[in-house]
Structure formats: structure tokens, C-alpha cells
Structure 1
Amino acid sequence: MNIESIIGEFFTLFIMAFALGMDAFSVGLGMGLIKLKVRQIFYIGLTIGVFHIWMPLIGMVIGKFLSNTFGMIATLIGGGLLIFLGIQMIYASFKKEDEPLITPIGFGLIIFALSVSLDSFSVGLSLGIYGAKTIATVIMFGVVSMMLTWVGLLVGKRVQSWIGPYSEALGGSILLAFGIKLIFPI
């Protein structure tokens, strides 16, 4: 393999990882609109990065044995989770209590990371069928998604102070819209 083909393959993987990571950025932007500490932002990005490694890896392994139909089911589940989280955030923004039902901490963080990374599972299924280079692919997916999540969360945190009490409703609306987009692609 010559250097040009290695660079071309790396660039292709980066573009694919960037495209997959944009959902993590978008959802991070919405989730960043609730009050989060920098430490929480770090752990959220790290967790989503880990999920973007494991989910496509599992998908690649299963992809060698299953059809693309299962990938659509994973996308629908991810969209449903995002819709649920979005509705929950919108509802919590209208309540007097400060604490939402699900926060990106503990089990809530697992649900959040799972909903964001289910599409990478679907891509992993496809890549498994076509025999992509596993280690390079999943590491690229994880690192890029982690970085984009951090950027989205930090931008959301900055914007949150500008729009005040409406920030959580706006964040929930973003998650809701992204979940609908996953279920009903245009």
C-alpha cells in the first residue's frame, strides 16, 4: 500500500467519522443548554467517544452476519430515545423544579450516549459487511465524536447564559428535532 492510498483511506475515515460525529455535536449543543459543569462536559464527551468506539465495533462484528435491516431498527431506537429526552427537557423547563427527570449523569448519561451512538452502530453494520479496517475505523469514530461533543457542549453552555430560562426548552427542542430527523429522514 502506498502513502497516497493510506492518506486517502485516512481522509475517507475522517470524513465518515465527522459526519457521524455531527449528531453528537448537535445533541451536545442541545444538552449544553442545561447547566453543566466543565467536569460533567468532560465526562459526557469521553463517554460518547467510548460509545462511538464500542457501538460501531459491535456493529462491524454483527454486520458480518446480519443484513442492513437491523441497522434501521437501531436508528429508530436512537431517534426514539432522543425524542424522549427532548420532550423530557421541554417538560422540565416549564416545571418549577430545577432538576430534570433525566440528566447526563450516571444512568442518564448512558441513555444519552447510547441514543447518540446508535447510528454509529448502524454504520458499523455496513462497514462490517464490506470488511473495513476495524481498529482504525472505531478509533477515528470515537476521537472525532468525543471532540465534536465537547465543542457542542461548550458552545451550548456559552449560549445558555444568553437565553436564560428558555435555554432548556430550546435544548429539548433541538434533541426532539434531531430524534424526529433520525426516524423520518428527508
Structure 2
Amino acid sequence: MGKEQREKIIKILVGIVIVLAVLYLIGAFAFRDRFYFRSYINGVNYGGKTVKEVEMKIADDVSKYKLTIKERDKKEETITAADIGLIYVSDGTIQELKEKQSPLNWLFGSLKKDTQEMEATTTYDRNKLESAIDNLVCLDEEKVVKPVNAYLNYKDGEYEVVNAVQGNQLDEEKFRALVKDAVE
């Protein structure tokens, strides 16, 4: 191999290294404020998203929150985020998760799945929650059926068993506590 050919190969290799280095730095620049590809928070892929985009998605998910209360006789009632003023409050956790990812490690960081768990900070209006609970049909005194034990009834010289009534009456104090726990 001649000297000219070696110099040509060296120039090509140097050019390739420079192009790869520039591409790597462009990637590092792009990931300075974005999560690595394959970044999961609470099981949701947020790869390539900014902190603001992640927080907007979480806020949107919180705004769609529904607490479904399943009652006897296959009845259901729902308390929604809008009913109680439930909203996501950014507390810097998403930013902290992003800061754990060095932009210079974007290539290798994106090759493996990065799974993070976090508790979304929310707030709600306690008065609105109380009002929403008060408006549930399952607590409406006119619609509540109290339970009755089975008993014997004497009729026409015979005893007959009168079946128990299961009813739908709730322990209101426990019910309210369970609803509050579910929301919090």
C-alpha cells in the first residue's frame, strides 16, 4: 500500500471519527433537557420527552381520575377529579429524575430500559370532596334499605320463614374514610 493511499485512508477515518463525534455531541445537546429513549416513569414511556411534557401528561392523567364506587345490585357511582378539584402539583421530582441522566451518556443510557417510580403530588378541595360524598345516592336516607335478619312469621296456623333483607346501608364513617384514602 502506497503512502498516498495510507494518507487517504487516514483522512477518511479521521473524517468518520469527526462525523461520529459531531453526531454524538448533537445527541448530547438534544438530551440535555430530554429523557433518554426507553425512560419509564410509573410504567409509562417518556423517552425523548422534556420535564415539562412529562408534567403536562401527568397533570392530564390526574385530571382524568375517577373513583368508581360499586354498590349492591350492580349500581355504580363516580367521583371525578373535576368534582373535587383534584390537580397535579409539580414538586420537582420529575426534574430530579431527569437530572440523574447525564446528557453525555445519552447513547448508552438509551440502550437499556430506565424504570423509575414516583408518587405524583396532588391536591384537592376537601370541601368539594365532602360535598361529592354527601351527594352520593348510596348515602341518601330515602334510598337506603336497612338490613333485616330472617325471621319466622306465624300465618294461618303455619310458620313461614321470611327471608333476610341484605340491604344497602353503609357504615358512613368507614365509607367516608375509605373514599378519602382512595383520593389521597
- TM-score band w.r.t. shorter chain: under 0.3
Q: Which has the larger radius of gyration?
A: 2
Structure 1 or 2: larger strand share? 2
| Bigger relative contact order, structure 1 or 2 (CA pairs below 8 A, ≥6 apart) | 1
Q: Give the TM-score, by structure 2 length.
A: 0.28
